[in-house]
Amino acid sequence: MPMALLLSACGGGGSGGVGPFLPPPTVTVTDRRILVAPGVSLHVRDWQSNRVDGITFVLLPGFGANAQHFNSLAPALAKRGRAVAISCRGFGRSDKPLPDATHRYDTQTLVDDVHAVLEALGIPCIVLGGHSLAGNQVTLFAGRYPQRVRGLIYLDNAFDYSKVPRSDEESPLLAEPEPTPADTASLSSMIAFFKRVNRNWSAAMEADLIDKLEVLPDGGVRWGTPVTIRTAMSEAGYAFSPDYTLVHVPGLVLTALPGDRRDMFPWLPATLDAETEQAANEAILLFNRVRPQDTARLFAALPPGSQQATFQPATHADFFIENEVALLSLIDGMGW
Mean pLDDT of the chain: 93
pTM for the model: 0.93
Q: Is the pLDDT confidence value at 202 over 70? A: yes
Q: Return the amino acid letter for 294.
A: D
Please give the average per-residue pLDDT across 199-216, as a whole number: 98
What gap in Å lies between CA 165 and CA 303, rounded to an integer?
27
Confidence of residue 15 (pLDDT cuts 50, 70, 90): very low
What gap in Å lies between CA 280 and CA 321, rounded to an integer?
25
> Across the beta sheet with 307-311, what order do the strands follow?
27-37, 40-49, 81-86, 55-60, 126-131, 149-155, 251-256, 307-311
Please give the average per-residue pLDDT across 239-264, as a whole number: 97
Q: Return the amino acid letter for 192.
A: A
Q: Which helix (H) or strand (E) holds 294?
A: helix 274-301
Confidence of residue 170 (pLDDT cuts 50, 70, 90): low
Sign of the CA dihedral with 199 first, then 204, 205, and 210 last = positive
Query: Does residue 295 sit in helix, strand or coil?
Result: helix
Lowest mean pLDDT among 19-33, 51-65, 259-273: 19-33
Q: Is the pLDDT confidence value at 168 over 70? A: no
pLDDT of residue 24: 81
Residue ranges and CATH numbers for the domains of the chain are 3-333 (3.40.50.1820)
Beta bridge partners of 44: 32, 86
pLDDT of residue 21: 60
The Cα-based distances of 292 to 154, 298, 327 in angstroms read 14, 10, 18
Please give the average per-residue pLDDT across 195-223, as a whole number: 98
Confidence of residue 226 (pLDDT cuts 50, 70, 90): very high
pLDDT of residue 19: 52
How many other CB atoms are found less than 10 A from the CB of residue 6? 19
Dihedral angle of Cα 135, 139, 144, 147, to the nearest 10 degrees: 100
Contact 267, 177 (CB under 8 A): yes
Q: Is the pLDDT confidence value at 190 over 90? A: yes
* For the chain, counts of helices (H) and of strands (E): 11, 10
Could you list the beta-strand ranges (E) of 174-247. 213-215, 221-223
- The 10s digit of each residue's pLDDT in 278-327 is 999 999 999 999 999 999 999 999 999 999 999 999 999 999 999 999 99
- The 10s digit of each residue's pLDDT in 80-108 is 999 999 999 999 999 999 999 999 999 99
